[in-house]
Structure 1
């Protein structure tokens, strides 16, 4: 699933995967072009959410009551409306210091509170954020650091 900008980049950078000439080892891709409209994967509604990675538009996604956004430093108000009502938000928080294209820890915490999401998980974190237990102890009770292998269940 890719918007038109992403599809263009995929076709340019991985041109061999879209060639009519097939040979062993080439990935076989079946692209689905998406817009800002809700689409379905099986019985799950998927809402694309355009966010900003510095000046580059990128997508986050809402799957029912679960929203996943990474690689972002800004979410415009009209896109925030698509997130409101989520029960869980996974959001990037690269580090405590400012960064050109990623939310800081403070910015991510503010965004989760502003959106009034009951449970938040922070992802796309760097070693510069600090040790897991130390950072986790500084977070509000409803926000946690994500980790490799984390499984979240939603309704």
Structure 2
């Protein structure tokens, strides 16, 4: 879900190490840094929980709720739409190291509740990478799905 979470976990790891050091100096009351630490950690868990809930909301959608699929400003209809919809649900975590983009697709799946946006990269060295774009426009590299390119090329 992103390097931001790795960075935040690193910061909390450092804070966990520094908290006992600060307490041993006896210059500061233990409860002040501990309270700040707990508040920050709770806020982080709430944020991560909200992001996971939004991330997984697409996986719980059913095809009967879909009102349309658009690939690069072209509407897709019929069975191709259903195959693409189901293929976008497939999640296989991948570690991405400097992908070299060959082609980029923008896919929007419109449902009765809300639109779901995806950016799909066909790359030379990492396969096909899928980015989910949340309501605020933040992109999450979610998976590698090499079979998606078949549906994208077939639907155009």
Do they superpose with TM above 0.5? no
Q: TM-score range by the shorter chain?
A: under 0.3
User: Which of the pair has the greater relative contact order for Cα pairs under 8 Å at 6+ separation?
Assistant: 2
Report which of the two structures shows the higher radius of gyration computed on alpha carbons.
2
Structure in which a larger fraction of residues adopt helix? 2
- Give me the TM-score of the superposition, normalised by structure 1: 0.25
